[in-house]
Chain A
Amino acid sequence: METLEQIKARVEQTLPPVKLDILPNECPAGERSLLVAASAGFAVAKFLRDDAQLRLDYCSNVTGIDWPDKELTEKTKVKQVMDGVEKEVEEVKKTLRPGFLEVVYHLYSMELKHGPVVLRLRTENRADKTRLPSLTPLWRGAELQEREVYDLYGVIFDGHPDLRRILMWDGFKDFPMRKDYVAPDDFEYEPTPHDEVLDAAKKHYPVEAKPEVKPEVKA
């Protein structure tokens, strides 16, 4: 199979305004991946599927990843003149990387028996702009897996034929695979809660303060 650089060059040549990024993988045995802007995702995926040299006709794995806001610290060594002596001082630069959701597609070719090409799409943020193009019209095999990503991560796939919750029940509000999801600690019913369970239950259902009943004292 072609290298990722060759694939990138050919995609950019065929679909002119599209720019791809190759994301490194620190694991030597793992594959690097292609990052595509959400708006061009469908066109690039279609190219990868239909191109005669690639023929990536088999979308093996579709999954989501949650990347919450993260403070990145970058340490740089800066030369400073202090009291007439030049010294090397470490300067810590902090930047905030805004969070996003990522959908990863592992593409193989059954016809030519090669792969994988790892395709990544990212949403703008984790709150309100979580729309991505659905690749189910290209690979039917993404149908249930995209539904699962929607269910567990909250990515909304435009063009998906049947986007409903799949593992959680209809009417469930949250997205359990997100990193900041807090599981309700009262999901197991206990008829007589005690100790930690009672404390947790109190947090959820504030117990009404009842007036203390004093025993009557006979005069």
Chain B
Amino acid sequence: MNTFAAMPPKNYEVLPKTDESGTPIGELLEISMGPHHPSTHGVFRMDVVLDGETVVKLKPVFGYLHRNHEKIGENISYLASMPYTDRLDYFCSMTNNWAYALTIEKLAGLAVPERAEYIRVIMAELTRLQNHTCLIGFFVQDMGALGTPMMYAFREREKILDLFESVSGARMMCNYMRFGGVRVDVNDEWLAQTKVLVDGYGKFLDEFEAFLTANEILLARTQFVGVLPKDLAISASITGPMLRAAGVNYDLRKVDKYGIYSRFDFKVPVGEHGDIYDRYMIRVLEMRESIKILQQALRDIPAGPVMDAKAKLRGFRPKAGEVYGRVEGPKGELGFYVISDGSPNPYRYRVRPPSFINLTILEDMCLGHKISDTAVILGSVDIVLGEVDR
């Protein structure tokens, strides 16, 4: 019996390379990078065509984690979608909750009590801190710094997840917000613990930056690699730190001023070159701004209820109409588009996933670079496959 027959098909292809007149001058190699490649951050595949080590073509392949989140959302009640939003971008369940709650509040005309607004800001900014910290850890790992920087990042993330756990009962799948407020109130002890963490976070960032920001290897691997021009970034609907690294000042916390963001004093860092180094730097600076917001929110948080008295959890049927709501998630603009026909389930439930749309220009950023750079470029986009494939 031929034992080779049982082997899986090879995941590479040799293609002819021709010059302009069509005469063969060499060979191109088409390889399938992923879906189980460690640097793809999940199950994501890139079909890469290589000339030597240089990328000449790259097509992303999606769908390995597709479960039709939107169809599920149309078949269950409004509230039942709330825990499902945790599973979109499982690093940032709090901001996912907020985006969905904000959309439905807009649809049903619910107000949010003052204290709940402050709690939401605190949760969202803590989420931003842990997401950006981890992302830097991951993408430094993609460059070959195995283990240690990621463990430094995860040490800090654990502290934030402990805070989430003590208030919502879950570390990652928080399911914390509700239409018209938040599920449970936080106590003074929790706020004091958060204040200790926030005050100490700047020191951790200093330490982290001392190792990375001027690191020779990091500079060599990131500067002028994966450059995203400003015009292309706008046209391709790139949002979040990627967009701001390309030099566009567009932060929904400033543009839409949703929630109570107009009350806080913070800046929007904007990059210049649009390369990976700018993206790294923007995230570090954004974390420092988040610390400022957190300090102000923890100082000003008032006492009071955390749920709108008019809000109804059971038998919730918003009037007919459609609405699009969006927030500035750590990865970019996270939007929800909901159409209600007056029944308990939404007629249409759509998620605008930032990390999926940010992958539009992956090929443009990788062309002309070496195959080893694609891992770093992909790492700097900051994707979570739960959100990309939905």
A and B interact: yes
Interface of B is mostly: mixed
| Contact stretch, chosen from B65-73, B282-290, B291-299 | B65-73
Q: Smallest distance from the beta carbon of B44 to chain A beta carbons, Å?
A: 12
Q: Are A144 and B235 in contact, with the CB atoms below 8 A?
A: no
Q: Are A65 and B339 in contact, with the CB atoms below 8 A?
A: yes
Q: Are B320 and A177 in contact, with the CB atoms below 8 A?
A: no
In the complex, which residues 74-117 of chain A have their Cβ closer than 8 Å to any Cβ of chain B? 104, 106, 110, 113, 116
Q: Are A167 and B63 in contact, with the CB atoms below 8 A?
A: yes
User: B387 at the A/B interface (Cβ < 8 Å)?
Assistant: no
Q: Smallest distance from the beta carbon of A51 to chain B beta carbons, Å?
A: 16
Q: Are A144 and B359 in contact, with the CB atoms below 8 A?
A: yes
User: A47 at the A/B interface (Cβ < 8 Å)?
Assistant: no
Q: Are A59 and B237 in contact, with the CB atoms below 8 A?
A: yes
With the chains together, A169 CA to B238 CA distance in Å? Answer: 26
User: B84 at the A/B interface (Cβ < 8 Å)?
Assistant: no
User: B109 at the A/B interface (Cβ < 8 Å)?
Assistant: yes
Q: Are A57 and B337 in contact, with the CB atoms below 8 A?
A: no
Contact with B along A134-176 (1 / 0, CB 8 A): 0000011111110000001000000000000011110000001
With the chains together, A59 CA to B324 CA distance in Å? Answer: 13
User: B331 at the A/B interface (Cβ < 8 Å)?
Assistant: no
How many residues of A are in contact with the other chain, CB < 8 A?
34
User: A30 at the A/B interface (Cβ < 8 Å)?
Assistant: yes
| Count: A-B pairs, CB below 8 Å | 100
Q: Are B323 and A63 in contact, with the CB atoms below 8 A?
A: no
Contact with A along B89-120 (1 / 0, CB 8 A): 00000000000000000110100000000000
Contact with B along A1-39 (1 / 0, CB 8 A): 000000000000000000000000111111100000000
Q: Are B389 and A104 in contact, with the CB atoms below 8 A?
A: no
Q: Smallest distance from the beta carbon of B238 to chain A beta carbons, Å?
A: 7
User: A53 at the A/B interface (Cβ < 8 Å)?
Assistant: no
Q: Are A140 and B324 in contact, with the CB atoms below 8 A?
A: no
In the complex, which residues 148-165 of chain B have their Cβ closer than 8 Å to any Cβ of chain A? none
Given contacts A30-B106, A140-B236, contact A60 B320 (CB under 8 A): no
User: B360 at the A/B interface (Cβ < 8 Å)?
Assistant: yes
Q: Smallest distance from the beta carbon of B242 to chain A beta carbons, Å?
A: 12
Cβ contact of A113, chosen from B235, B250, B322, B340, cutoff 8 A:
B250
**CB neighbours of B337 from chain A (8 A):** 61, 63, 104, 106
Q: What would be 19 A-B contacts, judged by CB atoms less than 8 Å apart? A: A25-B322, A26-B320, A28-B321, A30-B323, A58-B237, A59-B237, A60-B237, A61-B324, A61-B337, A63-B352, A65-B348, A140-B232, A140-B237, A141-B238, A152-B68, A167-B63, A167-B390, A176-B71, A177-B71
Given contacts A27-B321, A106-B324, A167-B389, 6 further A-B contacts (CB under 8 A): A27-B318, A28-B109, A140-B237, A144-B356, A152-B68, A176-B68
Q: B-side interface residues toward A, CB under 8 Å?
A: 62-63, 66, 68, 70-71, 106-107, 109, 232, 234-238, 248, 250, 255, 318-324, 326, 333, 335, 337, 339-340, 348, 350, 352, 356-357, 359-361, 389-390
Q: A-side interface residues toward B, CB under 8 Å?
A: 25-31, 57-61, 63, 65, 104, 106, 110, 113, 116, 118, 139-145, 152, 166-169, 176-177
